[in-house]
Amino acid sequence: MLDSMTSDVRPAVQGTRNDPTERSTARWQWLAAAGYAGILVWINVYLIRDLFRVQTAPMNSMHGFWMAIARWSDGGWLHSQWWPYWDCGIPFEFTYAPLVPALTAVISAASHVSLGLAFQSVSVLAYALAPLTLFLMAWRMTGSPHYSFLAALFYSLAAPTRVLVPDESFVWRNFWDARRMFLMVDWDDTPHVLGLSFLPLAILFLWLSMHKRRPIYYAAAVVSIAAAALSTTFGPVMVAIAAICLLSVAGRRDWTRNLLLVAAIGGYAYALSSRFLPATLLHAIGTATGRGRPEESLGMGTVTALAIVVLGWLVIWRYLPRWTSDRRLQFFTLFAYLTACPPVLAF
C-alpha cells in the first residue's frame, strides 16, 4: 500500500531517466507548466490591474486598519509593543496577523508610494498567487500540468461559492462574478486570500514529506504553514483540516509515523509564528467568542452541526476507497467535503 502511495507522487515521466524520449517528455512538461504559470499570473494581474494605479478608499472595510498598523508599527514586529489606539490599548500582536501590514510597509518604503497603493499591491500579489499555487500543487501531485491548469483557470474566472452559499437569491449568472476581487477590494479578504495562497503549498509539501521523507520538504512545509499563519488566523485552521484529510488517506502501515511527522512540522511552524500567535491571543479569542451573543456559544445547534459533519465524514471515508483507489482523489474529495461543511451548514 505504501509503495502505491509513493508512486502517486512521482512525476509521470520519472523512472526511466536514461531514455531520451522520457527526458524529452519531462522537458516539455516543465515548459508547458512554466507557460501555464505565466498565463495564470497574467490573467489574474490583468483582472485586478487597476489597483496598481487607482487608490480606493472603501469606508466599510478594514483597509485603513492595515495601513495604520503599517504606518505606526514602530518596529512592533521585532519587539514587544503596546498598541494604544484601539480597545483602550492592546498588545501589538493582538492587532492583526502581521504579514499583510508588514508587506504594505515594506512596499511603501521601497517604492515611495502611498500606503494605500502599497496595500493594494499586496492585494494584487495575493490575487495572482492563489491560482498559481493551486496549479503548482495540483501539477506536482497529479503529474498533469494540463488538467491542473484548467482547474486553476476555473478558479480564476468562476465563483462556485455563489452557487453553494449565495449572498442573495440564487442566479446562475452570478457563477461568473469576480467574487474574489469584490471580497478583497470592497471588504477585508486580502489577508485571507494571502493565507489561502500558501495553503496549496502546505498541502503539497506535507504530502511530499509523508511520502518522500526528505528534509527539504519538511522545511518547505514548515515555512508554508508559518506563512499561512502569519497571513491570517484562519490559516492554521485550514492547514489542520488538510492535515486530517492527508492522514486519513495515508493508510495504516505508517499512520503513526506520519502523525508524528505532521505534528512535528506543525509544532515547528507554530514556533516560527508564535510571536504573533501567542497562547494569550488564542485564549482571548476563545473567551471573546459568544460573549454577549448566545447564538455563537457552544449549544445544541453547534453540537448537531458537528455531529452531521462527523457522520458525513465517516460515511465518505468508509466508502470512498470502493469508488477510487487513487489516494490523491480521495484526499481532494475529503478536503472538499470538510471545507464546504461550515459555510453550507451556516447558510
Question: What does R_g of the chain's alpha carbons equal in angstroms?
Answer: 21
Amino acid (one-letter) located at 104: T
DSSP 55-116: ----TTSSHHHHHHHHHH-TTTTTS--EE-SSTT-EEGGGT--SHHHHHHHHHHHHHT--HH
Contact by Cβ (8 Å): 148, 142:
yes
Contact by Cβ (8 Å): 156, 40:
yes
The 10s digit of each residue's pLDDT in 111-138 is 999 999 999 999 999 999 999 999 999 9
DSSP letter (8 states) at residue 347: -
Report the C-alpha gap between 346 and 162 in whole angstroms.
15
Partner residues linked to 31 by β-bridges: none
Partner residues linked to 309 by β-bridges: none
What does each C-alpha distance from 10 to 4, 27, 163, 207 come to in angstroms?
A: 10, 15, 35, 11
Contacts of 8 (CB under 8 A, 6+ apart): 141, 211, 326, 327, 328
Task: Spell out a b/e string for 37-68, using b for 16 or more CB atoms within 10 Å of the CB, else e.
Answer: beebbeebeebbeebeeeeeeeeebebebbbb
Residue 175 has pLDDT above 60, yes or no: yes
Check residues 271 and 178 and name the one with the higher pLDDT.
271
Quote the cell numbers at residue 313: 465524514
The 10s digit of each residue's pLDDT in 268-313 is 999 999 888 888 887 777 777 655 454 555 567 778 888 889 999 8
The 10s digit of each residue's pLDDT in 82-112 is 989 888 898 888 888 999 999 999 999 999 9
Quote the cell numbers at residue 171: 442566479
Q: Are strands 90-91 and 82-83 parallel, antiparallel or unpaired?
A: antiparallel
The 3-state DSSP class for residue 48 equals coil
Report the C-alpha gap between 213 and 217 in whole angstroms.
7
pLDDT band per the 50, 70, 90 thresholds, residue 169: confident
What does each C-alpha distance from 150 to 135, 157, 158, 179, 272 come to in angstroms?
A: 9, 11, 12, 19, 35
Quote the cell numbers at residue 120: 493594494
pLDDT of res. 161: 83
pLDDT of res. 18: 59
The 10s digit of each residue's pLDDT in 23-65 is 777 788 889 999 999 999 999 999 988 888 877 777 778 888 9
Q: What is the mean pLDDT of residues 263-271?
A: 95
Q: What is the mean pLDDT of residues 69-77?
A: 82
